[in-house]
Chain A
Amino acid sequence: MAKINSPVELEEFRKAILNRRDPDKSCITLCSGSACNASGSAAVARCLEEEIEKQGLSESVEIRKTGCHGFCERGPIIVNNPGGVCYLQIQPEDVPEIISETAKEKRVIDRLLYTDPESGEKITHEGDIPFYKNQQRMVFGPNLSIDPKSIDDYLAIDGYAALSKALTGMSDIEVLEEVKKSNLRGRGGGGFPAGQKWEGSRNAAGEAKYVIVNADEGDPGAYMDRAILEGNPHSILEGLTLGAYAIGAHEGYVYVRQEYPLAVENLLLAIEKAEEYGFLGKNILGTGFDFKVIVHQGAGAFVCGESTALMTALEGRVGEPRPKYVRSNIKGLWNQPSVLNNVETWANVPLIINKGADWFTQFGTEGSKGTKIFSLVGKITNTGLVEVPMGTTLKDIIYKIGGGIPGGKKFKAVQTGGPSGGCIPENLLDLEVGFDELTKAGSMMGSGGMIVLDEDTCMVDVARYFIEFLTDESCGKCTPCREGLRQMLRILTNITEGRGQEGDLELLETLAETATEAALCALGKSAPNPFLSTLRYFRDEYVAHIEEKRCPALSCKELINFYIDPEKCRGCGSCLRKCPADAIIGGKKLIHIVDQDKCTKCGTCFDACPDKFAAVTKLSGVPVPAAVPEEERTIKKSK
């Protein structure tokens, strides 16, 4: 492949790609994202290849393996083009029929379609499924139509047009001004205005300047950056190159966690291809602009997502944050001006340059423009990645898109912002998502994790969970974080295990203040948030644990007992067979009893008991009733 040397050549090349493609040719798009892979997408892919070959359709049917489509709950997903017929939860057995019926005969296979849970109707097209219909997929949308390993696919959807436009039609200042005007705020944490950060670096003195992608995504329960990295790596590279042009950088880094091997692979390939085509490297598109990108793998430390720690790690050192009061856009990597932005932030840049700031600002709220991708997970029917305009209410996201809480359970709270964020209770569900709105509610946008919690989730345990996570991930450099979190974890663990004492909450609040005010970096400063926000909205749960030794959500192991209601037990033996601890005493036609000394509280019996009996219950804060005496355990004929 010869380098593309000018915008004209690029457009000619693009036209050639499009001309080579026959829009009527059958193309089976298969999601090969991480979640779909885990539910069998690779096996489906193999079957597709074999079956196409077997049915002699190699010439007329092609397969495109894409990144995550977002609806991971129902993976593996197939979209049949042209026509866009969408099949969910595909297994290898379904493949022959898909090929013979849909690919060949263009007939729709009803049983593989999505069924609307409300109307019971079948839905043929991906975009009509309520999960997708209520989204606005600007950044994430292209994932559906490109193979991340093919640069031609990216070019076919206007890829690198923004770069070409900027390098030849706009001055570096114009690019900067456009991004400033778009009010794009950082998608990775604090929501700092990207344009302002860039401007600082642009104006700062330095021998060299750097642009950096934060692809560390350490937030547990969030994977939207992964989906873009794996599914559309060129969009990030294009954004990064535009940033480099705007601030005058010639070297960029992607700090990506090694736990994402597919992301690393696709990114390295994308860089290689972009260099080959002339979108990266020397004399990009023949304009004289040079820019190279280096991939640095993170070795597993959440704190390395913090900007100064990340830059320290890039220098090959232990990723401890630096105690500095100079912003890293002025003095960052190797002490030079360095712009660090999140994956999603960078991926927004080509859109802004292509379509203009005015187009971009029509989405969103006054303070937060554009869209945001959330990872909607936890106790939610439609788990997956959703992209919505800023300003969408939490209620719409959870109910319209997410389909509500499964199993007829009651919603309790939604946790946003990861370990630095907080929990938002039911009465605030009308809240419109945006940086400032979420912060005001005691949480934060963070990188976009949205974990739905139902009535079975204990809020004290949620706080304990995040503090435990942070105790493990703290770098250990400063005292309020290292020692403060250690003590907070100890106290919270005591509370969830029934050893809470009067004064614990006050002590926790003191430790929270110490960390918030005096910790060195944002990890420690924001670490108390999950505790503070759960205390703010669910204080009664803390009090129940401490004063009554009771877990209202019936979740804390040390505070609950499993008990079989002798009135309801029909002696079916389901629990007895499944209990991994041999803690159930019972037999044919006998009332079953949980041996409390042997019970490990794994909850298997609770799940095993048939719904129609629902004899296994959880007790908390009350003594377990004495077992029925052995001679009285025979079950009389059911009434």
Chain B
Amino acid sequence: MSEILLEIDGQKVKAKTGMTVLEAAKAAGIRIPTLCYHEKLEPYGGCRLCIVELGAGERKKIVVSCVYLAEEGLVVTTRSEKIDRIRRTIIELYLAHAPDAFELLELAKEYGADRDRFAKEASFCVHCGLCVRYCAEVKKKFAVGFVDRGTRKEISFVPEIAAEECWDCKECFPLCPTEALQAAFVLMRALSL
């Protein structure tokens, strides 16, 4: 694996080919906020919190760092007025679902997000897909999945599989950014049917 050199926030950073910008930043101790990222899972690019700017001047473009691969000579900016503004809005959109989630409140503090900017939603789920993907990719049990699409999309356990697998596992609970509230809730509902 060959080494490449890129620049993140003015700092020269070494990375290996095949690494994402997020991984390269992490290795160099530069923090980029994430929600749907998990090192054991395939990049998902759903939450869009990890956006960064590439290039300089007029020709800047915004990409998600958890998917974009590091390239030789790449110039990356992880914070700017625009990026902060978009991240703030995304956090505010999440808080409409899970206004008391610790992880989100921490981020809200950092980005000055307003907990009550948007009307509240009925479900806690922030659709990071960590439980669904962990169950499929790491545990290979497929006990929980997504159903429906768009704003109606939600997670759902398959009762027959959950009854056999979930009691002794529950590894997905601590992954949930809303403190397992949603996964636990949906699992209980599935098993009580």
| Residues in chain A within 8 A of chain B (CB atoms) | 301, 303, 318, 323-325, 471-480, 482-487, 490, 507, 510-511, 513-514, 517-520
Contact = CB atoms under 8 A, between A and B. Distances in A.
B96 A483 contact: yes
B21 to A, nearest CB: 10
Per DSSP, are chain B's interface residues mostly helix, strand or loop, or mixed?
Answer: loop
Contacts of A507: 117
A482 B151 contact: yes
A325 B66 CA distance: 11
B86 A514 contact: yes
Interface in B114-153: 117-119, 121, 126-127, 129, 146, 148-153
Nearest to B51: A518
A487 B86 contact: no
A478 B47 contact: yes
B141 to A, nearest CB: 19
A323 B94 contact: no
B82 A482 contact: no
A589 B97 CA distance: 59
Contacts of A487: 93, 96, 118-119
B67 A323 contact: yes
5 nearest CB pairs, A to B? A323-B45, A476-B153, A483-B93, A474-B150, A518-B48
A480 B127 contact: no
Contacts of A511: 89
A90 B97 CA distance: 57
A256 B59 CA distance: 37
Contacts of A514: 86, 89-90, 93
Given A325-B67, A479-B127, A517 B86 contact: yes
B8 to A, nearest CB: 17
Contacts, number: 102
A517 B67 contact: no
B15 to A, nearest CB: 16
A476 B151 contact: yes
B89 to A, nearest CB: 5
14 contacts: A323-B43, A325-B63, A325-B68, A471-B151, A474-B151, A479-B46, A480-B86, A483-B96, A486-B121, A513-B86, A514-B90, A518-B86, A519-B48, A520-B46
Contacts of A303: 149
Contact of B153 (A482, A485, A518): A482
Given A472-B151, A477-B129, 10 more contacts: A473-B149, A478-B46, A479-B46, A479-B93, A480-B93, A482-B127, A483-B94, A484-B89, A484-B93, A513-B85
A483 B120 CA distance: 11
Nearest to B67: A323
Contacts of B45: 323, 478, 520
Nearest to A517: B62
A351 to B, nearest CB: 36
Contacts of B148: 476
Nearest to B91: A479
A416 B50 CA distance: 34
A490 B129 CA distance: 25
A479 B119 contact: no
A325 B151 contact: no
B44 interface: yes
Given A323-B45, A483-B96, A471 B86 contact: no
Interface string B70-101: 00000000000010011001100110110000
B94 to A, nearest CB: 7
B64 A323 contact: yes
A324 B69 CA distance: 10
Considering residues B89, B94, B127, which has the most beta carbons from chain A within 10 angstroms of its beta carbon?
B89
Interface string B106-118: 0000000000011
B90 to A, nearest CB: 5
A303 B149 CA distance: 10
A459 to B, nearest CB: 24
Contacts of B82: 517
A477 B132 CA distance: 13
A520 B149 contact: no
A480 B153 contact: no
Contacts of A477: 44, 46, 127, 129
Contacts of B149: 301, 303, 473-476
A113 B62 CA distance: 58
Contacts of A518: 48, 51, 62, 64, 86, 90
A46 to B, nearest CB: 42
A507 B148 CA distance: 28
